Amino acid sequence: MPLKGDDRDSAETCLYRFKNNCRVQGLDMKITDFQKLVKPSDLSWLLINKEMLNRDNAHELVRSVKMLNPYLDPAGLVIRHITLFNCLEVDDVLEVSSILSELLRNRFRVHTFEFIENLCDGSAVVPLALSVKGNEHLKQLSLSYNPLGDAGIINLVSGLKWNSCLEKLDLVNCYFGGEGQIAIADGLIANDYCVLSNLDIRGNHDRSNKRAGAEAFAYALRVNTTLTSLGLGDTNFVLGSRSREVLREALLQHPTLGYLDLSHNSIGAADGEMLLEILCTNLNITELVVDRDMGELFGAIEQQCRANASAKGAKNTGKKKKKKKKKK
């Protein structure tokens, strides 16, 4: 089927072909709410939830998506959001991941790709990393709850470090440690070619003696100018005297960061005092998540976060009023 310059391929025709092929191949029983795909606009999100995909299923899914036409006016008929949750068998992971990675090519214009809890390991992530390397449409990527390990993260970063489009990356509980944290810090956060604004790596523990991951993040944040949200909860994020001072310097002047999760880490009194100082200086930070066992410091940090949020809200309100006056 031609993808470009064929007026006969209307959105309705493309949708019909997509649905028909899915029915013939049995994918209609695997795609959530398939029966609700009535008009082209219903095709914005494709979800497969706990329905096993083998090699043949994966091939047919890609083939069905190819029957859509991203070149139709005004915005093309494409699936913007794809979620594949817990739908791969351990023996099929490498081959099926390789097949599905084709969906991350530019021609498909996918904005959000969630590949969650699919047993994807360090080898299976390689084709995905290669596909996102030159992707100019993908805004959000989630590979959470996959056993990527340090090797998988290094492979992923080798592709993502060349991506200047991705804004949100979720890697929660992906079984990586200090080496993976260093790869993310150096390859993505400190990389001015990347434009990540939201990063979540909660639940990935740095078990190294030196806690090199924490230090790498501190240094990376010192040069980063795009992050607005950073999840470092439950990562064994432990600061030494040097990394504490580097992180202090980075957060005091960070221009965009508004949310930082440091919960379930060994945050001591010296760290808490430093974080409170940062909040009193950098009013952009309106949410800082720490543990209640910090005692009085926990309350002081929460109070300062509320004050920063209130000040930021008042500032935004003032900007809106000025814009309205200019229009008059």
Q: Is the pLDDT of residue 25 over 80?
A: yes
> Quick one: tokens of 227?
């992050």
**How far is 66 from 36, CA to CA, in rounded Å?**
20
Q: Tokens 């999840």: give the residue.
A: 231
CA 248-226-156 angle, to 5 degrees, is 100
pLDDT tens profile 191-243: 999 999 999 999 999 998 888 999 999 999 999 999 999 999 999 999 999 99
Question: 198-200 and 168-170: which strand pairing?
Answer: parallel
Closest listed residue to residue 61, CA positions, set 94, 101, 33, 13:
101
Residue-wise DSSP of 156-190:
HHHHHTT-SS--EEE-TT----HHHHHHHIIIIIT
Max CA pair span of the chain:
69
Q: How far apart, in whole angstroms, are the C-alpha atoms of residue 34 and residue 67?
A: 16
Q: Identify the pLDDT of residue 235.
A: 97
Mean pLDDT of 282-286: 97
Determine the pLDDT at residue 75: 64
Proportion of the chain in helix, strand, coil states, percent, rounded to 5: 50, 10, 40
Query: Shortest CA distance to 270 belongs to which of 288, 243, 250?
Result: 243
Handedness of CA 81, 182, 232, 50 (dihedral sign): positive
Burial grade of 176 (CB within 10 A; 0-12, 13-18, 19 or more): buried
Q: Each residue of 171-191: pLDDT tens digit?
A: 999 999 999 999 999 999 999
Q: Which amino acid is at 45?
A: W
Beta-bridge partner residues of 229: 198, 259
Mean pLDDT of 271-289: 97
- The pLDDT tens digits of the residues spanning 245-278 come to 999 999 999 999 999 999 999 999 999 999 999 9
Cα 208 to its chain centre, rounded Å, is: 25
Beta strands of the chain (E only): which ranges? 45-49, 81-85, 112-116, 140-142, 168-170, 198-200, 229-231, 259-261, 287-289
Q: Which residues have a Cβ under 8 Å from the Cβ of 215 and sit 6 or more positions away? A: 240, 242, 243, 246
3 state SS of 243 = helix
Q: What is the pLDDT of residue 69?
A: 87
The tokens describing 261, both together, are 């999760």
